[in-house]
Amino acid sequence: MFRLAYVPGVTPAKWVNVWTERMPGVPLTLVAVPAAEVVELLRNGGADAGFVRLPVDRDGLSVIPLYMETTVVVVPKDHAAAAVDEVAVADLVDDEVFHPLDDTIEWTARPGLPAFTRPATTADAVELVAGGAGILLVPQSLARLHHRRDLTYRPVPDAPQSQVALTWPKDATTDLVEDFIGIVRGRTVNSSRGRTPGSPAEKPEKPAQRQAQKPAQTGSGRRAVPAGRKRKGHRPR
C-alpha cells in the first residue's frame, strides 16, 4: 500500500489515475490533512509522501517544487473588486484583509489593513468574508474549494504566489516513493529512470520475424557475384 497525503485545494487525481494503471497490485490511499499538519504527519510515518504548499520546514524532507498557483482575492459579490477582471494589490489599501494562521503565501508586506482577528483556518476566514468583516487573499484552488454563492474572487497578478510541491522523508525514499516521483515527473512506463515494476522486458526478435538481408550492391548498381560463379549470359573470351 502507498499512502499519499495532500493539503486542501490540491487535486492529486491525475497522478493517482496513472498510479492505478501502472501499479494495479499496489493500492494507493489518499490522506487529506490540514496544511499546518502535513509535515508532522510525514515525519511521524503517517504517509509515504505528500503534496504540500511551500514554504514548509524542510528539515529531514526531500522536496520537489511542482507548480505555482495564482493568488486571488475573495470578496462579497457587492464588493467593488467584483466589477473588474483583476485587482492590483494597491487597490486593496483601504480594505481589512484577513491573515489566517494556515496562510501559505509569503508576504514581504501584507496588503490592506489588518483585520480585527486572525482566523485559525482559511475556511474560518471565508466565513468572516461572507459576513462582510473583511476580504481574503488565497491561492485560487482554495477559493474554488471554499466557493460560496454570496462570494466571488478575482486574480491579483502582482501578489506573491503559492507553490505546490511533492515531499517525503529523506530517510524513507522507498521504491514505491521512487515510482510515484517518476509518475509526478511525467516519466513513461519504460523510462530508464526510477523503478516501475511490471515493465515488460524487451523480447528477442524471432528468426521468422527478421527481414531477409538484401545482397550487397556493387558500385555500378549490379548485384555482387560470389567468387567462382559466372554471371548468367556471360561468355568467356
pLDDT in tens, 109-156: 999 999 999 999 999 999 999 999 999 999 999 999 999 999 999 999
Check residue 1 and report its DSSP letter: -
From start to end of 110-170, where are the E strands? 113-114, 135-139, 151-155, 162-169
% pLDDT > 90, the chain: 77
CATH classification of 2-68+163-184 is 3.40.190.10, yes or no? yes
% pLDDT > 70, the chain: 80
Burial code (b: 16+ CB inside 10 Å, e: under 16) for 197-220 equals eeeeeeeeeeeeeeeeeeeeeeee
Say whether pLDDT at 31 is over 70: yes
Q: For the chain, where are the alpha helices, taking DSSP H only?
A: 13-22, 38-43, 122-130, 140-145, 175-184
The pLDDT value given to residue 188 = 82
Q: Is residue 227 very low, low, confident or very high in pLDDT (cuts 50, 70, 90)?
A: low
How far apart CA 126 and CA 130 sit, in angstroms, is: 6
Domain edges within the chain = 2-68+163-184, 71-160
Q: Which CATH class is domain 71-160?
A: alpha beta
What's the pLDDT tens digit per position in 15-30? Answer: 999 999 999 999 999 9
The pLDDT value given to residue 164 = 97
Amino acid at the residue 129 = V
The model carries a pTM of 0.77
The answer to whether the CB of 69 falls within 8 A of the CB of 163 is yes
Say whether pLDDT at 5 is over 80: yes
Q: Which residue has the cell 489593513?
A: 113
The pLDDT value given to residue 72 = 98
Among 8-12, 70-74, 180-184, 200-204, whose mean pLDDT is lowest?
200-204
What's the pLDDT tens digit per position in 65-77? Answer: 999 999 999 999 9
Among 142, 126, 153, CA closest to 69: 142
The pLDDT value given to residue 189 = 76
